[in-house]
Amino acid sequence: MLPRRKAAVFTDQMDGVYPDMKRFFKRCAALTLTCVMTCSLCVSAFAAGSLDHFKHSNTYENQFSDVSGWYAGYVAEGYELGLFDGSGDGRFSPHASMTVGEAVKIAACLHSIYETGEAGFAQSDPWWQVYADYCLEKGIIESGYSDYSNAITRGQFAMLFAAALPDEALTEMNAITGESIPDVRLSDPYGSAVYKLYRAGVLTGSGADGSFRPNTNISRSEMAAIVIRMVRVTERKSVSLGASESGTLNAEQIYAKCSPSVFSIKTYDEEDEALAVGSGVFLSAAGEAVTNWHVLDGARRAEITTVSGETYPIRGVYDYDAENDLARIQVDGTGFTPMQINYSGAHLTGATIYTIGSPRGLGSSLSAGIISAARREVNGVTYIQVTAPISSGSSGGALINAKGELIGITSASVSNGQNLNLAVPIEKLTALDTSSCRSIPVVAEEYIRKLTASFKLSRTNVNLDAGDSAKIICSVPGIPSGYAVSYESSARSIVQCSWGEWKENDDVELTLTGLKAGTVTVTVKLHDRKDNVLAERNINVRVQ
C-alpha cells in the first residue's frame, strides 16, 4: 500500500526504497556512521595546526622601490602576513639569491604560525641562531648548516620547506608520477621533498618538461611565490607530469589529483542523532561545494570530513534541484582544493571514468569503470550511466573523466542490476543560484512546504454504485526517489482500493471500487524516506 516513487527503477544511495530491504540499509548506515565518527575523533585530536592561522599583521604600501612584475603580489602578501621583509634601504632585492639563514628563518616562522598562530622569536646573536635552533628542535632540519650566509640551493630549499608544514597542509592536487621530473630522482637527498611540493602545487618547475634545476640558487622573488603557495591553497598551481600525450591519467594519478577535492558528509536529525552518510565535492577553495540533494533531505545539520581527516560544519545551502538531485552548499572553512570541472557534457559511451566517494562510510574510496550510456533517461531525468561500483554513502561523490575532470555527481544504482549506476551530469549544476546561502533547516523546511503544497488529489468526493470503480489521480510534482504515498480506509468492506504505477509527470492512480452500500473516508498520505507522514488528504466516498 506504499507505492514509492521510482522504486521499481532504481534505489538512491542513502537508503533502500523497498520495505523488505529497509531494515538492512538502516542497520548498515548506523554501523558506518559509528566507524567514521570514531576515525574523525582520532584524526582531529592530532590536527591542532591550521593554515587559517596565517593572517595579515602588516599593511603593504609599496614599501619596496624595486618590486614590480609577476612576483609583486606575492611580495605584498608575504609582507602583510609578516613572513618576510626587505633587504634594507626600502628595497626587497628580488633578483638576489636567497641565503640559508633567510630560508631557515622563514621555515621556522611557517611552522610556528601554522601550529600556534604566532612567530614570537627573540633576537639572538648571530641573528639566525634562534631560527636554526627552532628548526632543529622541531625536526625541520636534521643538522645545522656549515655557513648560514651562503646562498641556498633549490634542492636544499625544497627539503627545508617540505618539512616546515605537515602533510595535511600540503595535500596532493597534481598528478606527478614517480621519476617524471627530468632532473630529480626520488633517490636524491631532496627527491621526495621536491615531488611532494610539485604534487601539492607549490612547485611547478621550469620549461615545458617541468625541470627543477636542484643545484642552482633560488631568488628572493621565487621564494616569495613559493612561500605564498605554501600558506594559501588558492595560489597553488596545477601541473601534470608523466601523463600520456593525450592528457589522460592513470588511476594513481587520478587519485593523487582528485581525492583532496572529495569529502564525506554526516547528517543529523532534529534530535541531533546521526541520520546518514554521503559525499561531496569542493568547487572552490573558499568552501563552495556540491552534493546530492537527497543527502541533505530531512537533515537539520551536517558536517564534512576531508581526506586529511579534518572536520568542518556545512554552513548552509545556496540552492537545490530535487528533480536532478543536486545541492550547492557552503562548507564553513577555507583553503580547500577544488576539482577541475568539465561542463561540456561531451561524454562518449565506452570512455574510462573513475569515482571517488565514501561507500559505507569509507571515505576517499576510488573505483574505476566505463560510461555504459552517455545519456540515460530514467523517469524523465537524464543521467550518465556507468559501470564503476557505487555503494550506499557514495551519493554526492565525484564522477571523473580520464583527464581528472569532474563530469558528474554519483547519485543512484539500478535496482537488482549489476554495475548499473547513475550520475547526474555536472552541467546541470550551472542552473543553481548562488546569490544567497541559507541554513539547512530553513531550506529543508521550505522544500517540505513546497512538496506538501503540491500534493493534490483530482477528486475529494466520489459517488459510486456497488460494483463500479472510479480513478483518483494523486499528484506530487517533484516527488523524490524513495518517497511514498499510502492509503487508509475507514471501512474496507465498503470500498476496495488499489494503486497503479507512477507516471512520468509524478502522478499515480488510485482505483476505488464500490463493494456495498455505505459511506467511507479514504485517507491518502505522503511519506518521506523514513516513513514520516508529511501530509494527508481525505476522499469522501459514498456507495449506493
Q: What is the pLDDT of residue 2?
A: 60
Q: What is the DSSP string of 129-162?
A: HHHHHHHHHTTS-SS--S-TTSBPBHHHHHHHHH
pLDDT in tens, 353-408: 999 998 777 777 899 999 999 998 887 789 999 998 877 778 999 999 998 999 99
Q: Name the β-bridge partners of 383.
A: 376
- For the stretch 15-20, contacts whose Cβ atoms lie closer than 8 Å and that sit 24 or more positions apart, written own/partner, are 15/276, 15/392, 15/482, 15/529, 15/530, 17/415, 17/481, 17/482, 17/529, 18/415
Other CB atoms within 10 Å distance of the CB of residue 449: 12
Question: What is the side-by-side order of every strand in the sheet holding 484-489?
Answer: 461-464, 533-543, 518-527, 484-489
Task: Determine the pLDDT at residue 287.
Answer: 94
Largest pairwise CA distance in the chain: 106
pLDDT for the residue numbered 372: 93
Tell me how long the chain is.
544
Q: What is the pLDDT of residue 48?
A: 60
The pLDDT score that the predictor gives to residue 44 is 29
Quote the pLDDT of residue 264.
Answer: 95
Of 516, 510, 472, nearest to 493 by C-alpha is 516
DSSP 325-371: TEEEEEES-----PPPB--S----TT-EEEEEE-GGG--SEEEEEEE
Instruction: Show the domains of the chain with their CATH numbers.
Output: 10-46+250-447 (2.40.10.120), 55-231 (no CATH), 454-543 (2.60.40.10)
Number of H helices, E strands in the chain: 10, 21
Query: Contact, 390 vs 13, CB < 8 A?
Result: yes
Q: Which residues pair with 507 in a beta bridge?
A: 475
| pLDDT for the residue numbered 328 | 97
> Which residues does the chain have with pLDDT short of 50?
6-47
Q: What is the pLDDT of residue 275?
A: 87
What's the distance, Cα to Cα, between the start and end of the chain in Å?
26
Segment 439-475, tens digit of pLDDT: 999 998 999 999 999 999 999 999 999 999 999 999 9
> Which amino acid appears at position 513 of this protein?
T
DSSP for residue 260:
G
Phi-psi region of 78 (alpha: psi -120 to 50; beta: other; left: phi over 0): alpha
